[in-house]
Every structure is written in C-alpha cells, then in structure tokens.
C-alpha cells in the first residue's frame, strides 16, 4: 500500500512548484497557512490556487466558529471545485463536537477533511457521523502530540484499523515534524501524510549512505569555520 504525500502549504508559488512534482499527490491548507501566505480575501485567494491545482485533491478549511456558519462556509467552499475537500475541525473553540455539520455534509456527498484530531475516541465519533459512500479524511495531529511527549502511533493504529474496511475514508498523518515521520506512516499503512515543503525535499535524500552523510557534515563544519575565520 502506498502512503500518499500531500504538501501542507498555502503559498501560491510553492503550490505552483510542487503541483507538477510526481512525489506530491495533493495539498492541505488551513487558516493559519492562508494568513502566512498573505491571503486577504479567502475566496479570491483560494480560487487563485485552484487555477493551478486543478485535479489533485486540496483541502480548504472553514473558519467560522458556530455550526450554522460552518455549514454555510462549507457549501461555499465545496462549490469551488470537484477536487476540493472541505476541512472541518472536530470541535469549535467552545469544545462543541461538530458531528451535526459532518453528518449533514457527508450525507450530501461533500468530501470532508476532519481536522485537529488527537484521540481515538474523536476518530470513532467522526467515523460514526460519516457517510461511508462519501470520500473523507480524518487528520490526526501526530507532531503536536509528540511535542507534548505523547506517542501518536497507538492512536493511528487504532484509527487505521477502524477505517481500513472502507476505502472512502482515509487517515492522514498531520503536523509532520521530520522526514522519518514518512517512514513511520508507511510502516503502519497510514493512507496519507501531509508535510511542509522542507520535509518533502528531505525525502529526496532517502537512501543516502551514512558514510557520505558523515563527509557532508564534516565538510559543512569546515566551510563555516573558514567563513568565520576562526583561530586559536
């Protein structure tokens, strides 16, 4: 089974660069990445991206905090293209489960990416609301778990076991921190991993011998020492 690689970015030029790269199967964005990319008008900027990303799947997230407005934004985002997944947080800022939003949209055949997931219980609740005939993604934040000293693998394994019988529902490894996370995702048969451009570029060096890495490291130390004109 192949673990698909998505690029986690909203920068227009970076998406343009990676869109034709065979290593990248799709893209994920979020409001924070959109802000970082300099987006002023959410709709206009997203449509600009979609002029480049015409076929590969891409997720755009709602930014409303109440369920009624989430639905309104979700229908709007869904109208932007057939390759668009509507990203819905598992809860709002008040901690209210977005299950009713997930169910309504999924039942209408709208592709969803449910985000900010940290527990298997959340995966279960999401899974129970999803229409099994509609393509959906459950995004589990591995890196942020690891940042807090929590091993994300058990949650991934249980979630993957939950969804493995349904080809329409995929588990995504989110908040990737390093290239080795891709190896971990493959080892547990995770459907998708999304990662920043820097980490995608690191994957291209997979297979490099440790001997050559030692030489490269020592050479970089030497170059920096000479540039700094160190002496004792």
Least Cα distance to 8 among 155, 172, 123, 169 occurs for 172
Least Cα distance to 172 among 145, 187, 191 occurs for 191
Cβ neighbours for 91, distance < 8 A, ≥ 6 positions apart = 97, 98, 116
- Decide: helix, strand or coil at residue 5: strand
213, pLDDT greater than 90: no
List pLDDT tens digits, range 24-63: 999 999 999 999 999 999 999 999 999 999 999 999 999 9
pLDDT at position 102? 98
**How confident is the model over 109-133, as a mean pLDDT?**
98
| DSSP string covering 139-171 | EEEHHHHHHTT---HHHHHHHHHHHTT-TTEEE
**How confident is the model over 210-215, as a mean pLDDT?**
89
209, pLDDT greater than 90: no
Query: In whole numbers, what is the pLDDT of the chain averaged over residues?
Result: 96
Percent of the chain beyond pLDDT 90?
Answer: 94
- 61 DSSP 8-state letter: E
148, pLDDT greater than 90: yes
**How confident is the model over 208-220, as a mean pLDDT?**
90
Domains annotated on the chain, with CATH: 4-205 (3.20.20.70)
pLDDT at position 3? 98
pLDDT at position 91? 98
210, pLDDT greater than 90: no
Q: Where are the alpha helices (DSSP H) in 51-167?
A: 67-78, 99-107, 120-129, 142-147, 153-163
List pLDDT tens digits, range 150-208: 999 999 999 999 999 999 999 999 999 999 999 999 999 999 999 999 999 999 878 88
8 Å CB contact between 159 and 147: no
User: Tokens 């995966």 belong to which residue?
Assistant: 123
């Amino acid at each position: 089974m192949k673990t698909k690689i998505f690029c986690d970015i909203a920068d227009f030029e970076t998406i343009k660069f990676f869109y034709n790269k065979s290593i990248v199967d799709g893209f994920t964005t979020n409001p924070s990445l959109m802000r970082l990319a300099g987006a002023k008008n959410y709709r206009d900027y997203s449509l600009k991206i979609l002029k480049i990303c015409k076929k590969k799947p891409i997720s755009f997230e709602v930014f409303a905090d109440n369920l009624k407005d989430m639905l309104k934004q979700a229908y709007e985002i869904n109208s932007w293209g057939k390759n668009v997944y509507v990203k819905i947080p598992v809860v709002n800022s008040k901690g209210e489960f977005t299950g009713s939003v997930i169910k309504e949209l999924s039942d209408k055949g709208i592709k969803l990416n449910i985000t900010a997931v940290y527990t298997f219980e959340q995966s279960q609740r999401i899974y129970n609301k999803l229409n099994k005939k509609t393509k959906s993604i459950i995004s589990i934040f591995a890196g942020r778990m690891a940042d807090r000293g929590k091993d994300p693998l058990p949650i991934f394994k249980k979630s993957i076991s939950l969804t493995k019988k349904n080809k329409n529902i995929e588990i995504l490894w989110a908040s990737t921190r390093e290239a080795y996370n891709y190896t971990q995702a493959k080892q547990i048969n995770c459907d998708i991993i999304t990662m920043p451009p820097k980490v995608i570029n690191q994957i291209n060096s997979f297979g490099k011998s440790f001997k050559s890495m030692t030489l490269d490291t020592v050479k970089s130390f030497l170059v920096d020492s000479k540039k700094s004109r160190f002496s004792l």
